[in-house]
Amino acid sequence: MSVSVGDSAQPIVRGFFDRRTFSVQYVVSDPDTRRCAIIDPVLDYDEKSGATATFSADAILRHVESERLEVEWILDTHPHADHFSAARYLAERTGAPTAIGREVTAVQRLWKGIYNLPSEFPTDGSQWDHLFADGDRFQVGALPARVMFSPGHTLASITYVIGDAAFVHDTLFQPDFGTARADFPGGDAAQLWRSIQDILALPEATRLFTGHDYMPNGREPRWESTVAEQKRHNPHVAGVAGEAEYVALRNARDRQLPMPKLILHALQVNIRGGRLPEPEDNGRRYLKIPLDALEGAAWDDA
């Protein structure tokens, strides 16, 4: 039988850390039914050579096969700015439906303008099989799951609560690091603060799984904490008096951060649900990089 914490069943969570992008991908499974969801999978991309590969996604598929799991969902928490999504590739390999939050349509409209995409580019979220609204409920095997709208880092960010586990994407990092940035197009520090408070209102034993880990002080990567640990130890939570102080702290910090190196590469793929651009008449695919589109972004002096 599934282990429970309070009234919540406990899924088995396997994290896969991608050192190239500091991203964490997840396979979340019901131990009773052997059914699972894949969350935030990475499609490998080398910006120096322009090469793409499926090393990370194939490692997930090997795990699914070795554990004899059946994939029911391929879930993205938001359109990522630091890696390509492997959702479409995994959907083709497994037959499982893809899903994301329905506010992805706002992100599509925003970035369609930034990229000057053709008028026929759809901004209705039809690149995914399912769009989740705040409060929607679904299942992974027999595990209850629900969706929390968690904007602030992006317009479309959502949290998946599956049993006693919450997948909080880039809203909270590990307690020794802090919280997500809010200066991407469509980001908002005040919204992010309110989303964090919603997450921290979950039961204190709720396991929180983050979308990235930047290994402060050279420690090994981590991606699991609890609501209680975040409340006690996260410097952007425990040491902050309220929304106004957090917004000032977050905005000051964000002004110093250079943009992720793949933001302009990745968004044009991820607003397509992980699909690469269509080949042109010579059979090659091309990314389009708008110049000077992210005005005011800090320069990386490294």
177-206 pLDDT per residue, tens: 999 999 999 999 999 999 999 999 999 999
Rounded to two decimals, the pTM is: 0.95
Structure tokens at 5: 């914490």
Query: In whole angstroms, what is the distance from residue 7 CA to residue 292 CA?
Result: 51
Query: Cα–Cα–Cα angle for 257, 262, 266, nearest 5°?
Result: 130
> Which of 38, 36, 54, 34 has its CA nearest to residue 46?
54
Q: Rounded to the nearest 5°, which phi and psi values hold at 200?
A: -75, -10
Residue 7's pLDDT is: 44
Query: Contact, 28 vs 140, CB < 8 A?
Result: yes
DSSP string, 253-296: HHTTPBPPTTHHHHHHHHTTTSPPPPP-TTS-------TT-STT
CB atoms within 10 A of CB 256: 7
Query: Contact, 79 vs 43, CB < 8 A?
Result: no
Write the pLDDT tens digit of every residue in 88-147: 999 999 999 999 999 999 999 999 999 999 999 999 999 999 999 999 999 999 999 999
Query: In whole angstroms, what is the distance from residue 19 CA to residue 121 CA?
Result: 33
Query: Contact, 231 vs 246, CB < 8 A?
Result: no
Residue 24's pLDDT is: 98
Q: How confident is residue 2, by pLDDT bands cut at 50, 70 and 90? A: very low
Write the pLDDT tens digit of every residue in 281-302: 999 999 999 999 998 889 887 5
* Fold classification of 11-261 (topology level): Metallo-beta-lactamase; Chain A (3.60.15)
pLDDT at 239 over 90: no
> Could you tell me which residues come within 8 angstroms of residue 236 by beta carbon, excluding any fewer than 6 positions away?
178, 179, 246, 249, 250
Per this entry, what is the length of the chain? 302
Structure tokens at 32: 């009773």
